[in-house]
Amino acid sequence: MDNYVRIFDTTLRDGEQSPGASLDAAEKLEIARQLARLGVDIIEAGFPAASPGDAEAVRRIATEVGNSREGARVPIIAGLARANATDIDTCWEAIRPAVHPRIHTFLATSDIHLEHKLKMTREQVVARVGEMVARAKQCCDDVEFSPEDAGRSDPEFLYRVLEVAINAGATTLNIPDTVGYTTPEEFGALIAGVIKNTPGIERVVVSAHCHDDLGLATANTLAGIRAGARQVEVTVNGIGERAGNTSLEEVVMTLRTRQSFYGLTTGIDTTQIARTSRLVSNYTSIPVQPNKAIVGANAFAHEAGIHQDGMLKHHLTYEIMRPETVGVAQSNLVLGKHSGRHALQVRLTELGYQMSDADLQQAFQRFKELADKKKVVTDADLAALIADEFYQPPEVFALEDIQVTCGRHGMPTATVRLRGPDERTTVRAAVGTGPVDAAYKAIDAIVNAPNTLVEYSVHAVTEGIDALGEVTVRLQSHEPEPRTLGGHGADTDIIVASAKAYLAALNKLVAVEEHAPRLHAQHSEMSASNS
Amino acid sequence: MDNYVRIFDTTLRDGEQSPGASLDAAEKLEIARQLARLGVDIIEAGFPAASPGDAEAVRRIATEVGNSREGARVPIIAGLARANATDIDTCWEAIRPAVHPRIHTFLATSDIHLEHKLKMTREQVVARVGEMVARAKQCCDDVEFSPEDAGRSDPEFLYRVLEVAINAGATTLNIPDTVGYTTPEEFGALIAGVIKNTPGIERVVVSAHCHDDLGLATANTLAGIRAGARQVEVTVNGIGERAGNTSLEEVVMTLRTRQSFYGLTTGIDTTQIARTSRLVSNYTSIPVQPNKAIVGANAFAHEAGIHQDGMLKHHLTYEIMRPETVGVAQSNLVLGKHSGRHALQVRLTELGYQMSDADLQQAFQRFKELADKKKVVTDADLAALIADEFYQPPEVFALEDIQVTCGRHGMPTATVRLRGPDERTTVRAAVGTGPVDAAYKAIDAIVNAPNTLVEYSVHAVTEGIDALGEVTVRLQSHEPEPRTLGGHGADTDIIVASAKAYLAALNKLVAVEEHAPRLHAQHSEMSASNS
C-alpha cells in the first residue's frame, strides 16, 4: 500500500448541496481553478444529469481547469452519474474535454434501499453494477464506483458487488458513511473488512466518504485511512448537506502535522488553504465560525494578555502549526489610495486572478473608489471587490441608485432605481421596519418575484469601522417549487451592499424561472432514484 | 466502572477565553442558569483569582445557581485555581455559597514546563501538588486536579504526581490535551495508561479535556471515555481559545444516538441543547456556522427538492436523530400583535425566563413595539429582545436618538443623541463611508474611547425581510492594554441595532477603564504562571 493519500474534493458536488449554496457556472469555475492551485488530485465538478446547467458547468471546468496546470499537476475532473446509461453518457459528454476524466457512478447495496427505493433484487443490483461500470469503462479508463449505504449492507453481498465492479473495470471503490452515523472504530472496521474480503481489491484505490452529523467526520476519515483507504472525499470548510462532509483542511493538516503518527503525505499546497476557504465561503454564502479548526478566524488567535507572563519565547511549545503554513498572512496590508494600476495588477496576479485589460481597468476603478474611502485596502478587500464585480449572476435587473433615510423614531424609507431587462428604469419608494426591509420592499415592487428571505447576514471584510461590508442573503422562491438561492454584495455602505446582495439572488431567481426545473443530486450519493 | 458520564461544562471559564467572548456577570449568571436547566453535572463558573469581577461572578453563580434545582439536580459549581495558597483561598471564598462546591487546581508536569515556566524541580512539583490539593481538601471535599501538559510528561512522573494528588484528597483527575495535538488512538492510550498505572485510581473519577485544533476534539474525548474516563470537560458550541474546546452537544448526542455502541448515559436534557446554543452564541457574539454538527442551522435541513422522489416515507432511514430531540422546534410561531401580557408571560416562563412584574411590563412594551412591526413574533425574537433589554452592560452612555441618511451616490450621514453619565445629552453628526461608519463616528465624537473595531456582523434573528436584526461587534481597546470587548444590539432597523451594539461594547470599555486591569486565565489551564 502506498503512502500517498489522494484528495478528492467534492465541494462543487456534495458541498454545493448545502441549503442555499447553489453556485452559478462562473463561481464554480473560479472555485475549480482555486482547487487546482490548492493541489487536489480529483475535482468532482458536478452531477451532469441533474440539469443542463450542471452539465455545462462541468464541461467548462473539464475544458478550462482539466487542461491547465494551475497547481502541481493537471487535476482529474470527475462527474457523478447514477448507474444508468443516460446518466453515464451525459456525464461522459461533460467531462470528456478533460485530460484526465473520471466517471463516478453509484448504486445502493443495502436491503432497505433495494426493497424500498430501487425495487430491485440483489441479483439485479449485481447485474446492473457490472453492466454500468463496464459502460463507463468504455468511455474512460478512470471509473469510480460507490455502494450507497455500504454501512448497512450485508457485508458478504457488499464484497460481492465490489468484486463485480472491480472486474468490470472500476479503478476506485468509494465507501460512504451516508448518514454520518458511524464511530471511528466502526468506520475503520468497515474499510478493513472491504480490503480483507474483496477479491481483487489490491488492484484498486479504496476511498472514504464521511459526513459530520455527530462531529466525527474527520476522525472517521482518518480511521478509514489507517485501515487502508488512500483516497478521501472531502469539501472545503466541511460544507455539505446537514452538518456537512469531512473538511479537507482538517484531514490534510492532521496528516501533515502528525506525519510521525500517520506516515502519509498528500499533494496539497497547504499555503493555499486559507484563500480557498475564503473563496468558498464567499461564493456559497456559508460563513465559517471563528472557532472552526484550521480556517476559523480564531484558529490561530489567542486572547489578549497571552504574552504577559513571559512565555512568548516558548510559543512554539503551544502552537502545533504556524499560521503561514495554511496561508494566513501575518500582515496583509498592501495597497492604498496612492497605489497605481500596476501595483494592483501585480497583487491580483499574486492572488491568482487572471484578468483581461478591460477587466483590470474595471477592477482598478472599483479599487480607487474603495481606496478613496478606506485608508488601506487588504487582500480580503480585494477578494470581496473582485467577487462583487466579476462573479455576479447575469444582471436582469441592475441597481442604478438607492437612497435611504432611517433612525430610531423615524419611518425607515428607501427609494430605489433599477434598470430592467428592457433597459427601462423604474423608481419605487417603500417604507419598512428598517432600512433593509424598506429597500427590499422597494425592489420587490419593481421585480415582482415572490420569495421568502430565509437568511440575511453581514460581515465586515476587514477590521475598522470604515471596512467593506459583505452582505449575504438566502431566499426561497415559492414557485414552481421551493428553491433556495444565495446572493452576495459588497460595499462600504451596508444598505447598498444589502440591496446588491438581494438583487443578485433575485436575478438568479428570475433567470432560473426561465429554465426548466432542475433535478438535484439530493442526499449525497444516496437519494436520486435510479429508474 | 460505572456507565454514567459526568458533563463538566467550562463554557464560562475556558470558553470565555475565546477572543472577544468576554461576558459580564449578568450574562454569566443567565448562561449558568441555562446550563443547570440543560442538566450539566458541573459548571466551571470562572477563575476567581483572575480578577475581582471574575470572583464576584463566580460567587453569584454559586449563590443563585448552586442552590436551586433548575434541572434534574443542583449542579456542582467549580472554580479554577493555580496550585498556590492565594488562588485556592480566593477560589474557595467564591464557590463556598454553593451546595456542592468544587476546587479545580492545576500544575504542569512536563519537563519543558518545569524548566522554562515553573522553574521547579520534579520533587518540588510533587511536594506542591500534595500540599495544595490537601489545602483545597481542607476547604471542600470535592477537589479536582489537572496535570497540565500531561501528554508531553514523562509517564512514570505523571503517574507519581497523580498518585500524590489522590492521596492528598483529589476526587477527580483531569487529563488535558492542552494544544489539541493528539490523535484519538494516542489520547485513548494516555487515559488507559493513567488508569492502568496510577495507584489508587479506582477511588477517583478520570476526566478528559480536549481541544479542537485538528478537528479531533470530539473523537479524542470519546476515545478517552472508551478508555475509562467518566467525566468530560466541554463547552457549548465548542467555543474556546483558538479552534475551541470539545463541544458538549457533539459528545452528548453521540453517546445518546450511539447508545448501542458506547453503552453509556449522561444526565443531559437534550431538548435544551438548541436553546443553550443560541444563548451562548448571542452572549459571546460567537456565531455558529450553518454546517456545525447538532446545533448548526442546516444540521437538520435538507436542500429543497428532497421530497421529490417519493422517499419521504422512509425519512427515518436517513435521519439519525430527530430535530425535536435537541430542542429544534418544528414550528415556533407563537405570538402576534393581538397577544396580551398573559400570553407573553406564559411563553417567557416556558422559555425559562423568570421576571419581576416591572420587568415583565418593560418586556411587554418592547414586545408590542416589535409586534406592531412584525406579523409574528417567534421564540428567537423573544430571546433576542430579552437579551437586548435586560442583559446589557450598565449604560454609561444611552442612545436617545439616531437618524441616518445614506445611499449609493450620497454622503452617508448620521446624527446621534446620547445621554451621558452626567445625564447631559449631546448631539453630534458625522459623515462616514457608510451609515454604520457614520453612526460610529458620531458616537466616537461624544464618547471619546479610542478603539479598533475588529469584528462587525449582523444576523437576521428569524426569517423574512421584516426580521429583527441582531448586530454583534467586537472591538479592541488601546489602553492601558489591548482588550477585546463584545457588544450586541437588536432592532428591526439594523442601523439602530448597530449603534446599540457599539454603545454596549463601549459602555463595557468605559466601565473597565475605571477598574484595575484584569488577569486572564490564559491558555486553558496551562499558561498562568505559578509564582
The arithmetic mean of pLDDT across residues B241-245, rounded, is: 91
Asked if B318 and B358 count as a contact pair (C-beta separation under 8 A), the reply is no
Q: What is the pLDDT of residue A512?
A: 59
Q: What is the pLDDT of residue B330?
A: 46
Contact A242 B300 (CB under 8 A): yes
- Rounded Cα distance between B59 and A331, Å, is 42
pLDDT digits (tens, 9 = 90+) for A123-164: 999 999 999 999 999 999 999 999 998 988 999 999 999 999
Q: What is the pLDDT of residue A464?
A: 64
Tell which residue, A123, A137, A196, has the closest CA to residue A166: A137
Q: What count of CB pairs under 8 Å joins A to B?
A: 411
Task: Tell me which H or E stretch contains A109.
Answer: none
User: Which residue of A lies nearest to B322 if distances are taken between CA atoms?
Assistant: A213
Asked if A237 and A280 count as a contact pair (C-beta separation under 8 A), the reply is yes
> Could you tell me the pLDDT band of residue B169, with boundaries at 50, 70 and 90?
very high
pLDDT digits (tens, 9 = 90+) for B77-134: 999 999 999 999 999 999 999 999 999 999 999 988 898 888 999 999 999 999 999 9
pLDDT digits (tens, 9 = 90+) for A227-273: 999 999 999 999 998 899 999 999 999 999 999 999 999 999 999 99
Contact A401 B412 (CB under 8 A): no
Contact A527 B436 (CB under 8 A): no
> Could you tell me the pLDDT band of residue A392, with boundaries at 50, 70 and 90?
low
Task: Residue B434: list chain A partners with CB under 8 A.
Answer: 469, 491-496
User: Which residue of A lies nearest to B401 if distances are taken between CA atoms?
Assistant: A408
Residue B409 or A26, more confident: A26
CA distance A406 to chain B (A): 5
Contact B432 A466 (CB under 8 A): yes
Flag the least confident range among A106-115, A349-358, A412-421. Answer: A349-358
Cβ atoms < 10 Å from Cβ of A512: 19
Q: What is the pLDDT of residue B306?
A: 33
- Rounded Cα distance between B67 and B84, Å, is 28
- Rounded Cα distance between B385 and B363, Å, is 8
CA distance A466 to chain B (A): 6
CA distance A69 to chain B (A): 30
Bridge partners of B489?
B471
Contact A496 B437 (CB under 8 A): no
Contact B215 A481 (CB under 8 A): no
pLDDT digits (tens, 9 = 90+) for A394-403: 778 999 999 9
Q: What is the pLDDT of residue A160?
A: 97
Residue A73 or B389, more confident: A73
Mean pLDDT of chain A: 85
Mean pLDDT of chain B: 85
Contact B298 A484 (CB under 8 A): no
Contact A244 B291 (CB under 8 A): yes
- For B314, which of A116, A288, A455 is closest by C-beta distance? A116
Q: What is the pLDDT of residue B524?
A: 35
In terms of C-beta density within 10 A (0-12 exposed, 13-18 middle, 19 or more buried), how is residue A347 classed?
middle
- For B116, which of A244, A314, A523 is closest by C-beta distance? A314
CA distance A65 to chain B (A): 28
> From the centroid of its chain, how far is CA A388?
18
Task: Residue A437: list chain B partners with CB under 8 A.
Answer: 465-466, 492
Contact A299 B242 (CB under 8 A): yes
Task: Tell me which H or E stretch contains A184.
Answer: helix A184-197
Asked if A166 and A200 count as a contact pair (C-beta separation under 8 A), the reply is yes
SS3 label, residue A456: strand
Flag the least confident range among A399-403, B44-48, B259-263, B504-508. Answer: B504-508
- For B218, which of A216, A457, A493 is closest by C-beta distance? A216
- Rounded Cα distance between A95 and A75, Å, is 12
Task: Residue A503: list chain B partners with CB under 8 A.
Answer: none
Flag the least confident range among A85-94, B394-403, B474-483. Answer: B474-483
Task: Residue A453: list chain B partners with CB under 8 A.
Answer: 460, 463-465, 467
- For B484, which of A213, A304, A313 is closest by C-beta distance? A304
pLDDT digits (tens, 9 = 90+) for B379-412: 777 877 777 777 666 778 999 999 999 888 778 8
- Rounded Cα distance between A364 and A379, Å, is 14
Q: Which amino acid is at A119?
A: K
Q: DSSP H helical segments within B71-228, as ranges? A: 85-95, 111-113, 122-139, 155-167, 184-197, 217-226
Contact A222 B432 (CB under 8 A): no
Question: Which residue of B433, B498, B509, B531 is the best one to mutate when testing the A interface, meaning the one whose CB has the most A CBs within 10 A?
Answer: B433
Tell me the whole-structure pTM to 2 decimals. 0.78
> Could you tell me the pLDDT band of residue B244, with boundaries at 50, 70 and 90?
very high
The arithmetic mean of pLDDT across residues A289-299, rounded, is: 87
Contact B214 A401 (CB under 8 A): no
User: Which residue of A lies nearest to B118 if distances are taken between CA atoms?
Assistant: A311
- Rounded Cα distance between A226 and A232, Å, is 12
Contact B456 A456 (CB under 8 A): no
CA distance A392 to chain B (A): 18
Half-sphere exposure of A197 (CA within 13 A, CB side): 15
Give the rounded percent of residues in chain A with a pLDDT score beyond 70.
Answer: 87
The arithmetic mean of pLDDT across residues B213-226, rounded, is: 97
Contact A457 B452 (CB under 8 A): no
Question: Which residue of A152, A186, A270, A289 is the best one to mutate when testing the B interface, meaning the one whose CB has the most B CBs within 10 A?
Answer: A289
Tell which residue, B42, B27, B411, B29, has the closest CA to residue B209: B42
pLDDT digits (tens, 9 = 90+) for A198-235: 999 999 999 999 999 999 999 999 999 999 999 999 99
